[in-house]
Amino acid sequence: MSAALLLERVSYSYPGAAVPALREIDLCVAPGEFVVLAGESGSGKSTLLRAASGLVPHFHGGEFTGRLESGGLDTRTHEPAQLAAVAGTLFQDPETQVVMGTVRAELAFPLENLGFGAAAVARGVEEAALALGIAPLLDRSTHTLSGGELQRVALGAALAGRPAVALLDEPTSQLDPVAGDELLGVLRRLNEEWGTAVILAEHRLERCLGAADRVVALRDGAVACDSDPRGFLDWACEHAPELQTPGARLFALAGRRPLPVSVKDARRTLAAGSTGGPSLPMRTRLAPEGADDAVVAERVADVAPRDVPGWHARRRRRGARVEPALAFASVWLEHKGGATVLRGVDLEVAPGERVALLGRNGAGKSTLLRVAAGLSEPTRGRVTRGGRVALLLQSPGDYALRERVGDELPPEALAAAGLATLVERHPRDLSGGERQRLALAIVLHGERPAVVCLDEPTRGMDRRHKEALTALLDGLAIAGTAVIVATHDTEFAAAFAARTVLLGDGRPVADAPTADVLAGGWYFATQTARILGGAALLPEDGAALLRREVALA
């Protein structure tokens, strides 16, 4: 039986690139294997998937050497349209992949291209829609979908023909925790029950390691590690700490072993105690039954971001009136003949405040940001702005208008965004994380805005660049800019935001300090919070608690 994906000494350089994007890669993925691609932004993950789908070099051009077979077809002699029959692909920008007017037509399109009859097309559309939870969207216009809904539709179209290989680039990046888990469940079923080989590039590895047979880590376009998930975590701890999952980082900082692959894994190890003997459950050890509420609150307050400017700005407003940077007063938005997206939103954001906006796909997060920036007008209600509102939407490719990255911004701005070495690249040839950083730099260039609204800004970003983004936003907040980020990345929200607003069905259902919202949520919670029963949000704080518990034992 031939390999599902085979690379033999594959190297590739984009047009005008000074260094290759892929270097002498040898990789064999067997039919039915589930492989996760790990690596920092720009390490070669997206390029490898583009090569497996035939877009490299047929669409992107450049210099390609070596041999690559996808689903048994040689990519050098088969066009991307031919390869699509055996290798379904989901890229990082689903808005550029969805081409039909309705969801039903989008799911039917690839099946019709494969020559399926009308009955087979109808059945394929129904099964794909049910598998991905998009059956209620079948007759919706694709132009009215949220980013997460578009991502599921694009994935449904990629998988509708039951390809032998599924190539997925950050498939959960725009999905809420529930939709992300459901998507991974679909991939596991395809993999385990139908033998579909899955090759999935992901930065939030905690979401998918439990499903993986192997993890292949790339560094500078070459394979740096090829191991099972636990072996990968051990390797990352020693050689690539930036790739560690939050749970593995928690254990490494606390001096605990073995490093956990999942939350269940971590809780089992902690319940057994550091000596391997029996111990009390984790919740009992960190927050004893019957403990005074003030004691438990103090534990959570230990990790609350009380020292950030936005936190203090909000506290000051209780005693003295501070004009808001942004205010919504009973804001409604209703589509003509369609759904109500925002329902009587009342929301104020102070200068220098840092707010995370959470909620399921379709809850109204992106619409709220568009209304804040004036791109969409509310049906009813009033929006007050204290100055210019800068907005980064979910489609970073829309912000780059030139043929060269170096023509988009001055050299110093590109250097600050970590893009100085990519000035000769075409923006379309950048990785997802690089495109995101370029778009953000374009949005923030020029006069400092009163409000910055960012829609899923960490999509495609590794941990190092997320930390750089946090530092950048921190600087804006210190200077008095209010920052509002719509995100499904709870780890980033915990590190960045003092305040979290949870949207449900177009209105805020929770508005509280981030520590309160993320510590006890069923789905909107960090991995560290789930492991430690809400006692800490981030690995650094959780490790300090674990070390304290050992010291007191």
pLDDT tens string 78-106: 999 899 889 999 987 787 889 999 999 99
* pLDDT > 90 fraction of the chain, expressed in percent and rounded: 60
- In this prediction, residue 151 carries a pLDDT of 84
More confident position, 291 or 501? 501
The set of residues, in sequence order, having a beta carbon less than 8 Å from that of 245 and lying 6+ positions away, is 205, 206, 209, 233, 527
Per-residue confidence at 55, pLDDT binned at 50, 70, 90? very high
Q: What is the mean pLDDT of residues 165-184?
A: 87
Query: Per-residue b/e over 294-312, b at no fewer than 16 CB within 10 Å?
Result: eeeeebbeebbbeebbbbe
Chain centroid, CA 453 distance in Å: 17
Q: Which of 213-217, 271-275, 447-451 has the lowest mean pLDDT?
A: 271-275
- Count other C-beta atoms under 10 Å from residue 23's C-beta: 18
- In this prediction, residue 290 carries a pLDDT of 41
- For residue 189, give both structure tokens: 């079923």
- In this prediction, residue 337 carries a pLDDT of 66
Q: What is the mean pLDDT of residues 363-371?
A: 94
Q: Which of 17-21, 311-315, 400-404, 490-494 has the lowest mean pLDDT?
A: 311-315
The set of residues, in sequence order, having a beta carbon less than 8 Å from that of 14 and lying 6+ positions away, is 21, 47, 60, 61, 62, 425, 426, 429
- In this prediction, residue 435 carries a pLDDT of 83
- Three-point CA angle 51, 56, 59, nearest 5°: 145
The upper half-sphere exposure of residue 315, i.e. CA atoms within 13 Å in the direction of its Cβ, equals 10
Q: What is the mean pLDDT of residues 370-399?
A: 91
Tell me the backbone φ, ψ of residue 220, rounded to 5 degrees: 55, 40
* Burial bucket for residue 332 (CB in 10 Å: 0-12, 13-18, 19+): middle
Specify whether domain 309-521 bears CATH 3.40.50.300. yes
Say how many residues make up the chain.
553
Instruction: Provide Rg for the chain, Cα atoms.
Output: 24
**Contact call for residues 361 and 180 (beta carbons, < 8 A):** no
Per-residue confidence at 394, pLDDT binned at 50, 70, 90? confident
Q: What is the mean pLDDT of residues 394-420?
A: 85
What pTM does this model have? 0.82
> For residue 502, is pLDDT > 60?
yes
Q: Which of 181-185, 303-307, 340-344 has the lowest mean pLDDT?
A: 303-307
- In this prediction, residue 3 carries a pLDDT of 93
Distance (Å, whole) CA 403 – CA 546: 51
- In this prediction, residue 431 carries a pLDDT of 76
pLDDT per position as a tens digit, 308-336: 444 444 444 455 667 999 999 999 999 77
Q: What is the mean pLDDT of residues 486-500?
A: 95
pLDDT per position as a tens digit, 434-457: 888 898 889 888 888 999 999 999
- In this prediction, residue 66 carries a pLDDT of 97
* pLDDT > 70 fraction of the chain, expressed in percent and rounded: 90
Q: Given phi > 0 = left and psi -120 to 50 = alpha, else beta, which region is 72?
A: left
- For residue 261, give both structure tokens: 């692959």
Distance (Å, whole) CA 48 – CA 221: 9
Q: Name the E strands within 122-221.
A: 165-169, 197-201, 214-219
The upper half-sphere exposure of residue 135, i.e. CA atoms within 13 Å in the direction of its Cβ, equals 9
DSSP label of 450: S
In CATH terms, 5-245 corresponds, of 3.40.50.150, 3.30.70.1110, 3.40.50.300, 3.30.450.40, to 3.40.50.300
Residue intervals in the chain for CATH 3.40.50.300: 5-245, 309-521
- What's the mean pLDDT when you consider all of the chain? 87
Q: Which of 42-51, 297-306, 443-452, 465-474 has the lowest mean pLDDT?
A: 297-306
Torsion of the alpha carbons at 129, 135, 138 and 140, rounded to the nearest 10: -130
Tell me the backbone φ, ψ of residue 513, rounded to 5 degrees: -55, 145
Distance (Å, whole) CA 452 – CA 326: 10
Host H or E run for residue 264 = helix 263-272
Distance (Å, whole) CA 175 – CA 172: 5
**Contact call for residues 76 and 7 (beta carbons, < 8 A):** no
DSSP helix/strand/coil, 391: strand
Per-residue confidence at 65, pLDDT binned at 50, 70, 90? very high
Q: How far is CA 3 from CA 6, 11, 32, 53, 86, in A?
A: 6, 19, 10, 15, 12
- In this prediction, residue 319 carries a pLDDT of 56
Per-residue confidence at 275, pLDDT binned at 50, 70, 90? very low
The set of residues, in sequence order, having a beta carbon less than 8 Å from that of 389 and lying 6+ positions away, is 326, 372, 373, 374, 449, 450, 451, 452, 453
